[in-house]
Amino acid sequence: MATTMGESDGLIPERRVLPPQLLVLGGVASVQFGSAFADTLFDRLGPGGTVFLRVGFGALLLVGIARPRIRGRSRRDWLSAVGFGIVLAGMNWSFYESLERTPLGIAVTIEFVGPLAVAVAGSRKLLDLVWGRDTYVEPRTVDVHVRRLRTRVERDDRKPELILTVRGVGYKFNDAALDT
């Protein structure tokens, strides 16, 4: 049962969205079947060759599905995309090297449980359970330190003038306020 996303006023087209539970199951199945298939290629290609095929086919599939605009991209966009591809290939290569040395089930379980543990540890509900609902605990350590710093350097820490929040990025110093 898919839900729709978007406004119904006609300005933003509605699109079908799969339920998150189905996406999680699809991700789990993808990891399991992809790893089992990759394990069969090691004799012929080795972990490095298998990663090359996986990342290459993944890139082609993504281009075919998403149809991104290729022309008009900045150098920074290309460097970000290439950097992401290198990190992804390195992650897959290290995982495939582990598959060659450990049983498939153990390697896949460790690969799956690692990110799951990070997600659970960062869960706001878990923090509420540990610290209690009345206690304000910021899961981002940087925010806690910036908040403490603001109480010491700002006139009113609820209306910061020196250390500004940049939504989606982090914090920056207000150069104009520092010069005065």
Q: Are strands 3-5 and 163-166 parallel, antiparallel or unpaired?
A: unpaired
Whole-structure pTM value: 0.49
Q: Quote the CA–CA distance of 146 and 154 in Å, as a whole number.
A: 11
Q: Positive or negative CA dihedral for 75, 76, 80, 83?
A: positive
Q: Quote the CA–CA distance of 107 and 29 in Å, as a whole number.
A: 15
Per-residue model confidence as pLDDT tens digits over 30-66: 877 877 888 788 888 888 898 888 888 888 888 888 8
Domain with CATH 1.10.10.10 in the chain: 135-179
Res 7: pLDDT:
43
Q: Using a pLDDT cut of 90, give the percent of the chain over it.
A: 1
Phi (first) and psi of residue 170, to 5 degrees: 150, -125
46: left (phi over 0), alpha (psi -120 to 50) or beta: left
Indicate the CATH number of 135-179 among 3.50.50.60, 2.160.10.10, 3.40.50.300, 1.10.10.10: 1.10.10.10
Q: Quote the CA–CA distance of 71 and 82 in Å, as a whole number.
A: 15
Per-residue model confidence as pLDDT tens digits over 67-86: 878 888 888 988 998 898 89
